């Protein structure tokens, strides 16, 4: 809920130079409209087309692969709504055996009943998709909540099946982003704070990478094209 220093000026410079911008997020609880409103509250104006959330691409991905499907959803109301809008039916927990697909997003109400239903459905043959596998959900003051990846690990351990990941760092979401931008990978750069989800994921599809390094972190074996601590470091450097 706070902006990294220099980000507003950086975005303004990008727009003045005619660069296309896309906000790409692994968020599994909020769609584009919610994120657009959140950015506006923070003082960043973006069009709806400039925002792509992992939660938005799950429904079309399942429809393209399996057709309209009965889905057991572990996640928030936005995820449920978007899956229904994509033409899928939502299976209640007690009818987990009817699910063809289990979709797992972040769920603040995750409990033993949901773990049991999801694990049994997956163990019985339902496809298992996780919106993301980020182990932590960062919040204010350096704190965190267990993330979607932590919940996915629990279902995977109980069912014996690892999930297919929809969001970063998998290639599909980056390709959707590039298609929306209308540019090839070698003409785009990914800016992000996660070495795994943002930097390695983007590098795998051929994007340049700028790592916004959190305080006290090091890149290790990962080699981003540029490392910054805040956006004031890149102001005026765009060609």
Task: Render pLDDT for 126-183 as a digit per residue (tens, 0 to 9).
Answer: 999 999 999 988 787 778 899 999 999 999 999 999 999 999 999 999 999 999 999 9
Mean pLDDT score of the chain, rounded to an integer?
Answer: 95
Query: What is the structure's pLDDT at 6?
Result: 94
pLDDT digits (tens, 9 = 90+) for 181-231: 999 999 999 999 999 999 999 999 999 999 999 887 888 889 999 999 999
Query: What is the structure's pLDDT at 136?
Result: 87
Q: Are the C-beta atoms of 186 and 178 separated by less than 8 Å?
A: no
Q: Which residue is it, tokens 């979607």?
A: 148
Choose among 30, 55, 49, 80: nearest CA to 182: 49
Long-range contacts formed by 208-214: CB under 8 A, 24+ apart: 210/234, 212/4
Query: What is the structure's pLDDT at 220?
Result: 84
Query: What is the structure's pLDDT at 214?
Result: 82
Query: What is the structure's pLDDT at 92?
Result: 98
Query: What is the structure's pLDDT at 1?
Result: 77
Query: What is the structure's pLDDT at 141?
Result: 76
CATH code of the region 1-20+183-239: 3.40.50.1000
Mean pLDDT in residue range 6-30 = 95
Pairing of strands 101-104, 127-130: parallel
The answer, yes or no, to whether residue 108 has pLDDT greater than 80, is: yes
Number of helical (H) and strand (E) elements in the chain, helices listed first:
8, 12
Q: Are the C-beta atoms of 75 and 107 separated by less than 8 Å?
A: yes
- Shared fold status for 1-20+183-239 and 55-165: yes
Q: Is-cis flag, bond preceding 102, omega within 30?
A: no
**Distance between CA 232 and CA 239 in Å, rounded?**
16
- Residue 62 backbone dihedrals phi, psi, to 5 degrees: -65, -40
Query: What is the structure's pLDDT at 208?
Result: 96
Q: Per-domain residue ranges for the chain?
A: 1-20+183-239, 55-165
**Distance between CA 91 and CA 155 in Å, rounded?**
17
Mean pLDDT in residue range 17-32 = 94
CATH topology of domain 55-165: Rossmann fold (3.40.50)
The answer, yes or no, to whether residue 105 has pLDDT greater than 90, is: yes
Q: What is the pTM assigned to this prediction?
A: 0.90
Alpha-carbon 122 to chain mean position: 22
**Distance between CA 157 and CA 41 in Å, rounded?**
40
Q: Are the C-beta atoms of 51 and 180 separated by less than 8 Å?
A: no
Could you tell me where the DSSP H helices lie in the chain?
7-16, 32-41, 54-66, 77-85, 112-123, 148-159, 171-181, 201-204
């Amino acid at each position: 809920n706070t902006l990294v220093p220099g980000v507003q000026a950086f975005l303004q410079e990008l727009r003045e130079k005619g660069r296309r911008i896309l906000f790409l997020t692994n968020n599994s609880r909020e769609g584009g409209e919610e994120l657009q409103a959140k950015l506006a509250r923070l003082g960043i104006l973006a069009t709806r087309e400039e925002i792509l959330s992992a939660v938005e691409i799950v429904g079309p991905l399942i429809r393209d692969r399996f057709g309209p499907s009965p889905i057991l959803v572990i996640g928030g109301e936005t995820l449920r709504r978007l899956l229904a809008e994509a033409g899928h039916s939502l299976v209640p927990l007690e009818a987990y055996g009817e699910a063809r697909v289990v979709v797992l997003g972040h769920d603040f109400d995750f409990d033993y009943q949901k773990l049991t239903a999801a694990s049994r459905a997956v163990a019985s043959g339902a496809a298992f998709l996780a919106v993301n596998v980020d182990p932590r959900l960062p919040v204010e003051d350096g704190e965190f909540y267990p993330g979607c990846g932590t919940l996915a690990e629990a279902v995977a351990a109980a069912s014996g099946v690892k999930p297919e990941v929809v969001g970063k760092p998998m290639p599909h979401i980056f390709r959707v982003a590039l298609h929306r931008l209308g540019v090839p990978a070698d003409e785009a750069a990914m800016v992000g704070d996660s070495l795994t989800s943002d930097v390695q994921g983007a590098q795998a599809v051929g994007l340049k990478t700028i790592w916004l390094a959190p305080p006290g972190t090091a890149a290790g074996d990962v080699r981003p094209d540029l490392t910054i601590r805040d956006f004031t470091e890149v102001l005026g450097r765009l060609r």
